[in-house]
Structure 1
Amino acid sequence: MKKGVILGATSILLASQIVTTIMPLAAKAEEKLVPNTEESVQSNAQVELPVPALPDQQIESTTEEKQEEASTSDAKEETVPEAEAKVETRASVTAEQTSEAVTATSEATVSTWAQLQTALMDNNVTDISLAADITLGATTIPTGLNKTIHGNGHTINANFNQIKLGAAGAVGKMENVKLTNTDIYGLFWSDAKNVTVTYKDVDHSGRQMIYLPYGELILDGKVSSYVTVEEIFQGNKMTVLPGATVDFESTPASRALSPVLLMSTDSRLTVGKDAHLNIVSNAANIWGPANSSLVNNGHMNLESKRNQAINLSTGSTMQFNTGSTFKAISGDTVEEAVEATSGSIIVNSGATFEVESNGVQGSIITGNQLVFANGSSFSITNHNRSGAVFGSYAKPTNVTIESAEGVQTWNRGVLISQQPSFNYSGPLSANFNIDGYLSGVTQTGLTSNNASFQNTFRTGNTGKIVGGSFAKVEIGSTTIDELTTESTTVTGTGEPNARVEIKANGTVIGSGTINSEGKYSVAIPKQAANTVVTAQATLQNLTSNVASTTVRDATATAGTITPNAHTVGDSHITGEYTGDVTSARLFVNGVSTRGGTFNPDGTFSFFVTPGSIKVGDKVEIVALDKNGRELDRKNIDVISNLSGNIMPSSYTTGSSTITGEFTGDINFARLFVNGKHVSWGGTFNPDGTFSYYVTPGTIKAGDKVTIQGLHRDAAGNTEILDEQQVQIAMQGSITPDTYTLGTSNITGKFTGDVNFARLFVNGQHVSWGGTFNPDGTFSYFVNPSLIKSGDTVRIQGLHRDAAGNTEILDDKTVQIAGLKGTLTPSAYTLGTSNITGKFTGDINFGRLFINDQPVSWGGTFNPDGTFSFYVNSSLIKSGDKVEIQGLHRTANGDTEILAKEKVEIAGFAGTIAPNAYTPGSSAITGSYTGDVNFARLVINGVPTDRWGGTFTNGTFSFFVTPGFIKSGDKVEIQAMHRTSTGDTKILDTKVVKINLQGTVSADPYTLGQATITGTFTGDVNFGRLYINGEHALWGGTFNPDGTFSFYVGRDLIKAGDVVKLEVIHRVSASDLTVLDSQEIEIK
């Protein structure tokens, strides 16, 4: 149909490694995103100029008669497509992109879009409860296997976004929720395999309810859907659970945009026991591919105003089971109403099956079997004069008809006749084959247990056929008028066009035909008194009841009396009479009086004492002949001589009195609300006005209220003199809150009977609806892009009744709040990728200037009043003038600057503390603080080409080649901050202390010898001699070959002295480091 290909990619990678998301196109996608030539929209971050244009987005065009049209428009500066109207939203959201945390639990209660989005993306959350109405801010693709949304009576405004179940085998459910503004994919749709979605107690409106090409939709409770663009359900399987009620209505006219469109081979539609599936559409109600199946165990009611009701393709089957009912009406003037191409339709025992079509093709078309089992009830009607009841396509079909009640048929073109063309008595069974789908259909092999059916039934001639409970089992009732011994004609009524037979004591004495008006007149010979004469009608194989009368002696008296109603206080009872009446007897509550004057003109009068007959008395008059024999008896209605009218004024709901005027004898009243008596009383004033107390709240808008005007006597007896309906004057007010531009709801309060609203912008009616809560508050959804600064906005408070009639009760102007806000950016650190800070008010967007030039716009503005604005870390340099603007941006991209602030660039600071270095090792290590992230080595005052280092968590390591630093070198390390552009700044310089080492091995000393000799290692370059603990000499010669000599003279050391030699690394007289010492052996 459409939707075969959805953009698989949800993001592209730009050269700057910034992710920009792409939204899957909806039908008639509002616009492509074309980046501005000067600035770029922030999606996950700002990107530098220029930015390559995004690729065109496409969807697969629909089949049949329609193609989705994707319109494009040039994006103006700083605007985004309508589908991305909300700032910082994404077309497709992954779990890593959600920003609001939900505790890791299986349940979550949400009241905002951000919370709902987070819960949807958290695979640990399986049950989501709505605590408020929510408008979707983006298309979201949960990857979890189980998601249930409990709506709790709230509304999800899809805002033409989607919740797409991304995982194969996922199970989704929505219950007790109202869904609005869905796009052509719906909510909880999926193109993954084996996805199951359940809708329970869901009220939906939008472009399509759901798209499940490889999944199953289960409907439970009460589900309704009103769709204006495409299908309602489009998918593989749809199941209506037992007891559910489903109401589908769609407006698209294209034949193939069926409310129920089965997509895959072997698709299935199942309606459970006691379930109701009602579909009204212009398109075909149900459309299915090859090998589809329909199983009805409940009640289906289908009406297509322009096309077929059901069309299932090759090899499909429909089965209607015991207890099910089915009614389909097709408005197509060419096609059938119900078709199973090369397939079968089976109507089982106990099923009721009705089809009406208006096309030249057969009402029902099959290509294998059409079965009406014994015990089923069926009625098939083709209103087209050229159309038959049955047809076949694309193969011949076998038809089986069984009906214990018989079958009735009407020829094509005579359906306006109430009488069938043929009545075939039951029990009837028949079987035959047909080939073709027009009135020239070929019928062969007819066999039937009813000879008349076998001889006369022709499929191509038949425009209507009924069986089971629809078959008429008896004709109209027959009556016979009174006869006397002088009668020679019998008259009466009966079934039009039927043959009527008159019998006397069982013998036929006359016959004739009842005329088209249902009357007959048959000549007979005179009959003796007390003879029983009967009349019975016969039409084809059907016979009527037997009507009878007994012949009366013509000489016997007869007559009737017809009294007028008697008014209390009158002196006569009057009326009319016929025949042989000469007097009368009057009974009043069982007491009789004989009398009366019977005039030749057929009138009579009977004197009564005025006032002797009262309202409520039982009064009867008996007509007598001259011999006093009773000829007739009638009751007399007694009416009051009291009179009066009551004229209630309109009642205002919530008030405590019904007022109005009255006339005559009314002095009391009684009140009824919706047919129930609620109170009586009232004050009736001499000036003809009245008031009647009613408890406020007793009468509500829409109630039917009547008041009776009565007369009440001293004994408490009452008489109704008048009754009038009280018109209800509804009242109410609406008080809207100040509206903030860019938001999606107008809120406020209301009173009285207001339950509906209508919105006007600049005098133009734009929408109607609203949610009116029991606590007197209301909310009214409005597209955030609809209202702009300077617009004149009005909202009308209305009362809307069940029939959809509305009455305006109030009309108020909606004030538009002025936008305001402040921006406080934190100092920016060079080389970082975000400007952060705080904001207030209506700011929801940012724009960055460097040296007075705009560079990017976007930003993330959080509910806690903090913001972050991405900036390329190399973009801002020391000395730059940086400014950030705080804006309010509406859904249609309009912006208003609310604040401008300078961004201070923070100075760098830091220290370094190197550890002592051991010559020969490969690293200088130590600690650092602040912004140090780079270092350089200085040896003996000369900067080297050695720079770099690893700086992590306050410690550093700086590589040096072993041997590069030598003994005696003065080593310094410079601590720097280096930006992403390579700029550096020296923050600190420290001397690196060298770890010295060395040993000494002196030869034995021989008394009188002038020098001490031996060997040494390491950094030894000086010696110091101690004799008996006293410092004696210092100096020595330490040769490169590791030998040394230390002059002592020949007589300094004597026998018995304790001599020790210290070896030292000497830098200066004040910089000495002792490395080793040894006591000298003396010989």
Structure 2
Amino acid sequence: MNKKIWFQAVLAILLVSSLLFQSGQVKAADVPSDETEPSFTLTVEYLDKDTGEALQEAKQLNLKEGDPYQISAPEFEHYTFVDASKSLTGTMDQEDQTIVLYYQKKEHTLTVQYIDKDTMTKIHSDYSASLEYGEKYSIPEYAIDNYVFQSATEAPNGVMPDEDLNITFYYIKNGSGTLDVNLFTINKDRFVTGNYSGDVSQISLVINNKFYPFVSVLGSDNHFQYEASKLITSLAQDVWLYAYDKHGKELDRKKVSLDRMPIGTITTNQFTLGQSSYVTGSYTGDTTKVALEINGEKKQTINVPKGGTYQYYAANFIHSDTDTVYMIAYDETGVELDRKKVNVYSTTGDLTVNPFVLEKDHYITGSYTGDVKKVAVLLDNEKGQTITVQEDGSYSYYIGNKLQSGLHTAWMIAYDEVGKELNRKQIELVHYVTTGSISTTPFILEKDSYVTGTYEGDVAKIALEVDGEMRQSIAVPKDSPNYRYYLDKRNELQTGEHEVNMVAYDTAGKELDRKPVELTHYITSGSLSVNPFVLGKDSYVIGSYTGDVKKVAIEINGERGQVITVPADGNYKYYIRGLQATDEKIFMVAYDLSGKELDRVELPLSVTK
């Protein structure tokens, strides 16, 4: 055989075998054959044994006589391989062949238990069946004596899954019980009450076919109560009470008989003696009549108008705030529904009056409390105009100059709204006593020309006292609390001990205050800075100063050079020549106007390179 043809045939067989092997179904032996030999078809089919349905498309392989083959059975979801029409391994015949692989659906077990839900015990034998995947099932719901079906973990009808299935049917005992319900009185009872028997575990109120929440009755000694005061409000309502066992099964129902107790309330407003003529207030509910009761004696009963408010004439009956007064509410049959005490009020009030300064004041002022609404002045037994007080609890009554001269007796009188006198206080008439104070600031002898300070109160004039000698008085400014007093002959105070006081007076010349003036000397201070000086180059020492520096000088080896006056701009230039490099200390020294040394700074030196 031609080697090239033989080699190509081997490659073809290997390629086909590899593809079929990778699919997991057919495997041909790796045996080369002559290309000229006839080939035959090996067909592999995959069928459901029960239905004949193909599970996937058939596979084919072209082989030559005597070629070996090996077929593997692939897995299919929900199926199990059972057998084949021929052996899965062999050699190819001199004709086409077909091998069929048979599969059947997987079978699983369905198990059903029947359980008492309360005790979790079995009450019937299990139901069991073997079913294929996807097969429909229907579980029998057994009728068990004294039990009723309640629930199940799965639906009783379904399709078998690809696994075993366990289902539990729960049953509960067929309970019984009764209700006995008491009469419910609207406007009186808070609860629907009664007794129960048997397996009753919970109750529910039903009003006009509307169900209200369940209420447990367990542990209540066969007695129940259901809060309903806000639910049952009309005799026209259809009210029932339902009884259930613990699983919610209805055991009994009873209609609730209804009655209604009339209700009504009354309120009263304050009755003010001397102002009010009627007791007034409001009413609610079934109130149709009211009556007044004073100190235990009931007065006439009157009908109330529609609208919820009433008024009862009482000016001829209530005379003192010590009277005990009630308003009573009745229904149309005369049944008392409510009674409320009437607050009988007698206006009261107090008054305070500030002292009136004869030389200064034009208004009488003060404060009030309570029911005071108006005030008036009684001057020498003659009553003046009545005025309304301010809402903030104070008053201000203009009297002008009526009290400025002569002797007078004056009272302030307080009244309520209707003019009833509540209180009176005598007005204290006083003369004005001037007061005032003064302060001083230290006086610097070498610098200041004026003594300064502040004043307050009735101070109108000031004067300086020097060593017991009073100098000229001057008026203080009216628009400022500060003053200035020029001190002449101040040079006389530069030496020796001296006593200086500033004295304050009122307009009449009455001394109000005096304060010593502290005499101090000015202490000069200042600082100096200097720039580096380059030997052989610079001719001036340059720098700056602060404070009271007026002069500077150079000091070399303790010997002071010429003293020069510094300019006013804070900088200086000091001419020097012939300065040589030396180990000696060189300083620039600062002085005040009197020649007092204020500062000294060493001059930094450097040599020109």
TM score, norm. by length of structure 2: 0.30
Larger strand share, 1 or 2: 2
Return the structure number with greater relative CO, CA threshold 8 A, min gap 6. 2
Which of structures 1 and 2 has the bigger CA Rg? 2
